[in-house]
Amino acid sequence: MNREQEWSRRNFLAASALLPSLARAAERPRVLPGLDRVVEQKGAPLTGKRVGLLVHAASLTADGRHAIDALTGSGVKLVRLFGAEHGFRGLAAAGEKVDDGVDGKTGLPVISLYGRKSKPSPEDLLGLDVFVVDLQDAGVRFYTFAATMMHCLDACAEAGVPMVVLDRPNPIGGRRVEGPLSAPESEVPRSLVNMTPGPLVHGLTMAEIARVVNADRRKKADLSAVALAGWSREMTWADTGLPWVNPSPNLRSAEACLAYPGTCLIEGTTATEGRGTDAPFLKIGAPWLKSVELAKAVRVPGFALEPITFTPRSSAATPSPKHLDIPCQGLQVRVVDARKVEAYRLGVTLLIEMKKLHSEFAWLRDGTGFDRLVGTGALRAAIDRGDSADAIVAADAPAIEAFRKSRAPSLLY
């Protein structure tokens, strides 16, 4: 069985498993993605245009049809597909480079924006009347899809190709804004994980991110959005009535998404953030972790921590997880109140207490990977100094308030 056949098999199994929940969501969804609104309007505003489409595995209608099928069925003429990290079918592991190719189902060419390049070339946009983005974000800067969209926005502005964003909910809500801004590029090199504007947790939908970015560009793109129906800023994913579909192989539940802005920070240390387990970002640990002591030391609103043991295993989603096949002491992270969660504070508190309790704790690659993930060296420096979580969180407050004001004209909801 070749890779394309294996991808098709896995897609079929995943889709089959989702059918019951998708059917329930289709009965009375409280929120409709932009994609559904285009389908309801029989393809408008894309009808009669040659469309390039940037999608991934979670680019689905509320009743479970992929954007490629739903748009084609609505009379939209797709001429080129584009994929971000994990590929347009969402099956490549984190960080795995993806080559250009041809979609086996439609025969359409597929341009990878997570391989040889991260920005479409002029040739990639040649002959397109419109470039459409339909990606589910996670609400945190180091999730790379927004940055890929930003590169596409620049390319569209340069080529004179209009961009339309089919909006999707921010799964952790639009009120929550947490964490630091990225430092200047002279301090931390720019990459897909740290180039999205605003604090680490930005509280924006994908269309709003595009609007914020476009407003600040010297050469602006012809940008429009198909807004969500029924979404409001206080909603988390559970409030939308939509089924959860993994936007990337390791982000496997709406609960994990609420913890992800904090627990993913563990990725930059010698502990594991849970890749290689059945619940990445909801399980953290290491062979040396003092789990009972750590659970007692970490108290953060909205979360409960439970000592557990687990052993990371290799999988298609994570071929080489940290502490592969080594039993780990760890913590199970549970969301007990989605309205109160402070994921960034959770991550900061975990790092502070892990460092206090364990001589084995260390930053990977002298901390450069952590700084790149967070977008600044200030957080690591504060933890190394022994600053408290309260002090670290408070230091970000002025920049957060300024961002809330600057983003206001770009908000859609």
Res. 400: pLDDT tops 90: yes
Model pLDDT for residues 76-90, shown as the tens digit of each residue: 999 999 999 988 776
DSSP state string for 157-200: HHHT--EEEE----TT-SS--BSPPPPPTTTS---TTT-SSSSS
Residue 60 has pLDDT above 50, yes or no: yes
- Identify the pLDDT of residue 270: 98
pLDDT tens digits, 330-383 = 999 999 999 999 999 999 999 999 999 999 999 999 999 999 999 999 999 999
Residue 246 has pLDDT above 50, yes or no: yes
* Of 61, 68, 81, residue with least CA distance to 18: 61
114-172 tens-digit pLDDT: 989 999 999 999 999 999 999 999 999 999 999 999 999 999 999 999 999 999 999 99
**Mean pLDDT across the stretch 23-34?**
71
Mean of the pLDDT values across residues 32-56?
97
> What is the token pair recorded at 408?
């206001």
Q: Does the pLDDT of residue 22 top 70, yes or no? A: no
Read off the pLDDT of each residue in 27-50 and give the average, rounded to a whole number: 93
The per-residue pLDDT for 214 is: 98
CB within 8 Å of 27: residues ≥ 6 apart = none
Mean pLDDT of 216-230: 97
Which domains, and CATH codes, for the chain?
Answer: 3-248 (3.40.50.12170), 254-376 (3.90.1150.140)
Mean pLDDT calculated for residue range 219-242 = 97
What pLDDT score was predicted for residue 88? 76
Residue 53: CA count within 13 A, CB half-sphere: 30
Per-residue pLDDT, 17: 46
| H or E stretch covering 251 | none
pLDDT on residue 28: 55
Per-residue model confidence (pLDDT) at position 27? 60
According to the model, what pLDDT value does residue 5 have?
39
Please check the confidence at residue 410 and state whether its pLDDT lies above 70.
yes
Phi, psi of 228 (to 5 degrees): -70, 150
Percent of the chain with pLDDT over 70: 92
Look up residue 380 and give its two tokens.
Answer: 């690591």
**26 has pLDDT over 70:** no
The whole-chain average pLDDT of the chain stands at: 93
Q: How confident is the model at residue 92 (pLDDT cuts 50, 70, 90)?
A: confident
Give the model's confidence band at 24: pLDDT under 50 very low, under 70 low, under 90 confident, else very high: very low
